[in-house]
Each structure stands twice: as C-alpha cells, then as structure tokens.
Amino acid sequence: MSIEPQHPEDSTPELEKRPFFEATTGAKSRYGRFNLAILGGTGVGKSSLVNAVFERDIAKVGTGLPVTRGANYYHDDSLGIWDLEGFELGAKLPLQLLEESLDTIAARPAIEQISVVWYCVNAHAGRLQQPEIDVIRELDRRGLPVIVVLTKVDWITNPVTGKRTPSFSAQEFCDWLRNPVDENAAQPIDVPFQRFLLTSTLDRHGKAKGHGLGELVSETLELSPDNEKDAFRIAQRLNLPWKREMARKVVVVAAAAAAGVAAVPVPVANAAVLAPLQLGMMGRIAVIYDLEIKTMLSAGALAQLGVQFTGRALAGGLLALIPGAGNVINAGVAAALTGATGEGWMRLCEQVYTGKIDLDAIDNVWGDFVPGFLDVMRKMAEQRIAKK
C-alpha cells in the first residue's frame, strides 16, 4: 500500500512528514502480517466469523489472489486470509484438494505462510465426518495448529441467573470432541486439533451480538508463532487493551529516546529537534491502530495531522509554563513532553479507530488531544515516582 500523500491540498513539506512515513513503513515491516486459513462448508458462517473478529469481509480484505484450485488469498498490510474452498462433504477428494492447496501455499513467500487454521463446522452437525477428520490430520501433519470452531451455536439463557449455556445439540457435539469415537461409538479415534470453541456471530433475533469470539481471539493468539503475535493483535478488532499495551511500549521507548536527545539541555527555541522523534512514535502508533487501512484517512493526511499535533505540543507557550525549565528543555522535560504527546495521540487514534470520532470532523477535535501543561506535569511526577 502506497504511503505517498494522496490529497492535492496536502501542503505539509515532505521533509517534515518523512519521520512519520519512515516509522509507518518500518512498523509495518516489523509487525508483518498474520495469516489465517479458514475451512468449512458453504453456509457454515466463515465470512461472518472473519467479519466479526477482524471487521473485514473475507472477499474484501484487500487484494484478492486466486492462487490455485480451491484456495484464494486475500490480504491487506496486517491480515492475510487463506480461504480454502471446496471441502464440502461429498466433494470429490477433499483431502487431495487440500494437499494441492497446501503444497502451493508452501511455495509462496514467507509473509503469506499460514499461522493458524480455523476449521469451521456448524454446531448442529453432531460430529465430524471422516473426510473432515482426514483434512484435520493432514493439517496437523503439516505442523499447522487447528482450532475447530463450532459456528451458529444456539445459546439458552437462564431466566434467573442470566447465564448462557449452549444448546443440547451443541453440548453433545462438545462431548464427542472431547472423546472422539467412530460411528459405532466403539473405538476411540484421533482427531489432532488444538482447541475447539463454540461461537455465534448473531443472536437468535439475527442481531450482531456474538458469543465465544473473545475466547477464539485469545486462543488464536496463544497458538500463533511468536513473531506473528503482534500482527494478530493489530489485525483483530475485539481486544482493544492489546493495542493499548503495544502503543504504550512505543511511547516508553520514545520518551527514553527524547531524554537521551536532551541529555545536554536543548534551548526552548530549538524544541523542534524533538519533533522527528515524536513523529516517528506517532507513525508507529498509527500502524498499531491500523488507521490507514481502517479509516480511509490517507497516509499523507495522517502525517499532516501528526505534524500539526507535534507542532502544537512543542509550542513555546506550553514549555514556558513548566517550572524550572527556563529557556532550556532538559532530559526530564523532554521525556515527559514526549510521553504526554504519545498518550494524547493514542487517545485520538483509539477514538478514530473505534468510530467515536468521525473523520469528517477530525479537524475540529484533534486539538483536544494535544497534551497541555497538566499532562506534562503528571508525566514528570510519574518519572520522579519511578526513580524512587
């Protein structure tokens, strides 16, 4: 995805925006892409599941790539979806089709390799059929962790306690998954999946009120390769605290770097020396919140906003209010100012990301998130406490 400015009215000098662009590109490269393979029959709810967890239509994730018979790859910067089609019961040689697809995928670039597989089956099915078991065994043989996702689960709400429990048929399916046996219930059989989870993306009235999705997200993260966990945290939409944790780490690193820059006190008149560092921090946080992908706010416009944000945060009037700063910015002030700027930018990104701020109105509200005197003083107090 291009990171060049897309709006002709964007007049912010490229030199000023460059740290934002470079940090954005570097963060995308560092975090990489999480690739999910999803299998299941037509109508089982694969698309609804992907949309509920990632808020992306499975066929509109980004670039669609029909790779081979029965396999399609859709991706954007943070998420890749391998839609492995054709594994219907009764379909001709589903195992052979899977093997062909996996062989093709194995030859693709590293950034496209499968991390986790969701094998989706309707909760009313009762058990897995032999062709499905063969498919799961092949996935396991290839070293791919499989989560069996029971979809379209009916939930029963206790009128007294309010507790939800799955329907009787879904519970029966779970009992079978815990102790799989053959059709005659005589011999145990091996079905090598890692987890099974009950989910629904709609309630009984057809409204979007999913159940079991948070657990699915947590288990998927646990099974993901260590070097792709952050990409999954960025791609998923259900666990906002994961993004906050990642963003705060970026802020801490940037604050420490700012302290290093001001180890020899910087004249207030030269406060802009901190701007490239802060813009880099903001670019990385924007990637964590997936803003460029999610919001149609161009990279150029996002960088321009970052420059405005940084300029307001480094305004001389604010610095003049800080006790003891005088005409220079020392390490403590630089770290506090950068930390407060990062936290304000995080809040703004989160508001945009969650749809609480309309992009059409962002020019009218972004100034509310720029750190003020009290924000900087609070960060300085936190630093003093941390040193004790």
Q: Mind listing the pLDDT tens digit for each residue in 356-383? A: 998 778 888 999 999 888 888 888 888 7
Six-digit token string for 360: 């059409």
Specify the residue for token string 């749809």. Answer: 355
Q: What is the pLDDT of residues 82-140, one digit of tens each?
A: 988 766 655 556 788 889 899 999 999 999 999 999 999 999 888 898 889 999 999 99
Burial of 267-284, coded b for 16+ CB within 10 Å and e otherwise, reads ebeebeebbbbbbbbbbb
Classify strands 71-75 and 79-84 as parallel, antiparallel or unpaired.
antiparallel
**Would you state the pLDDT for residue 9?**
44
Give the lowest-confidence range in 215-219, 234-238, 330-334.
Answer: 330-334
Residues paired with residue 304 on neighbouring β-strands, in sequence order: none
List the beta bridge partners of residue 136: none
pLDDT in tens, 171-215: 999 999 999 988 877 789 999 999 999 998 865 544 456 789 999
Residue with tokens 């910087």: 266
CA 299, CA 303: separation in Å to the nearest integer? 6
Whether residue 364 contacts residue 289, with contact meaning beta carbons closer than 8 Å, is answered with no
pLDDT at 72 > cutoff 90: no
Q: Distance between CA atoms of 204 and 208, rounded to whole angstroms?
A: 10
Residue ranges and CATH numbers for the domains of the chain are 14-28+239-387 (no CATH), 32-235 (3.40.50.300)
Answer yes or no: are the C-beta atoms of 147 and 216 closer than 8 Å: yes
Which of 304-308, 317-321, 377-381, 382-386 shows the highest mean pLDDT?
A: 304-308
Other residues' Cβ atoms within 10 Å of the Cβ of residue 234? 25
| Better-predicted residue by pLDDT, 264 or 69 | 264
Whole-angstrom Cα distance, residue 84 to residue 139? 12
Q: Are strands 155-157 and 164-166 parallel, antiparallel or unpaired?
A: antiparallel
| Residue in the structure block whose two tokens are 């300029």 | 311
pLDDT at position 205: 47
Question: For residue range 13-69, what is the model confidence (pLDDT) as tens digits?
Answer: 666 889 999 999 999 999 999 999 999 887 888 888 998 899 877 655 445 444 445
Answer yes or no: is pLDDT of 300 > 60: yes
Higher pLDDT, 188 or 315: 188
Interhelix angle 213-223/46-54, nearest 10 degrees: 80
Q: What is the pLDDT of residues 157-174, one digit of tens each?
A: 878 887 888 888 899 999
